[in-house]
């Protein structure tokens, strides 16, 4: 699953996005200032707001960041994606967050069964935390448990309707299972949220071609 595997690269990069580009001697933006900066005409101001929210933003701020995924400036778009991943990875509970990062470390080390057990424990203790479900969905996919992964993706989307990663995951699993219409629908939903989602437009084009071939063979 291209996007789920790409998530591992994000896990390494996420720490870099946390380094906020604040001028020497300047006070960091407050959360409210960062939110207001998202609507500024200067790309540098929008990027500063996005990067600050990566560090201090809450789930309540995520909807305000989504439009920046289609910003005119590529650097703002990239920062917005990184910021959303960081916000999504904060549960609001220090103990759960520590457990979450232990699970991430197990994923990075390829210890998938151990990671699955950790994320299952997170889900048991804090079921409202969407990213716990998303990480377990990724692991289940990698373990070949496609239907179980789809169920976890559904749980993610119940809690976070803007989770383009889960939607892309659904698309890739449905495509692998030969359910091309469902795969197309998932990728279309993902692209409405994140128009520049890597690989999604290409996947959608390939699915349209497969559906057209299927229509021709049934005539």
DSSP string for residues in 128-163: T-HHHHHHHHHHHHHTT-HHHHHHHHHHHHHH-TT-
pLDDT at 9 exceeding the cut of 80: no
Q: Is the pLDDT of residue 6 over 60?
A: no
CATH architecture of 12-88: Alpha Horseshoe (1.25)
Domain with CATH 1.25.10.10 in the chain: 12-88
Number of H helices, E strands in the chain: 12, 0
Distance (Å) of CA 59 to CA 17, 69, 84, 177, 208: 17, 16, 9, 33, 34
CA–CA separation, 194 vs 212, rounded Å?
Answer: 25
Q: Which pTM was predicted?
A: 0.86
Dihedral (C-alpha) 51, 54, 59, 63: value to the nearest 10 degrees? Answer: 30
Mean pLDDT for all residues in the chain: 90
22 in helix, strand or coil?
coil
pLDDT of residue 198 exceeding 80, the answer is yes
Does the pLDDT at position 2 exceed 80? Answer: no
- With cut-offs at 50, 70 and 90, classify the pLDDT of residue 26: low
- CA 24 from centroid of its chain's CA atoms: 32
State how far the Cα of 159 lies from the Cα of 127, in Å rounded to an integer.
9
pLDDT for 174: 97
Percent of the chain with pLDDT strictly greater than 70:
88
Whole-angstrom Cα distance, residue 156 to residue 127?
A: 10
């Amino acid at each position: 699953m291209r996007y789920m595997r790409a998530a591992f690269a994000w896990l390494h990069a996420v720490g870099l996005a946390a380094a906020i580009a604040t001028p020497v001697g300047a006070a960091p933006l407050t959360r409210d200032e960062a939110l207001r900066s998202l609507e500024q005409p200067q790309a540098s101001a929008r990027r500063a707001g996005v990067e600050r929210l990566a560090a201090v933003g809450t789930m309540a701020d995520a909807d305000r960041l989504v439009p920046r995924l289609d910003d005119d400036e590529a650097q703002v778009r990239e920062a917005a994606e990184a910021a959303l991943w960081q916000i999504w990875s904060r549960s609001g509970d220090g103990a759960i967050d520590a457990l979450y990062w232990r699970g991430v470390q197990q994923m990075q080390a390829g210890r998938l069964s151990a990671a699955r057990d950790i994320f299952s424990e997170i889900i048991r203790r804090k079921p409202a935390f969407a990213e716990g479900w998303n990480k377990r969905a990724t692991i289940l996919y990698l373990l070949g448990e496609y239907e179980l992964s789809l169920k976890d993706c559904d749980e993610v989307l119940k809690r976070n309707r803007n989770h383009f990663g889960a939607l892309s995951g659904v698309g890739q699993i449905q495509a692998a299972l030969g359910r091309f219409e469902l795969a197309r629908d998932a990728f279309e939903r993902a692209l409405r949220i994140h128009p520049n989602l890597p690989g999604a437009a290409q996947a959608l084009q390939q699915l349209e071609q497969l559906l057209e071939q299927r229509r021709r063979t049934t005539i």
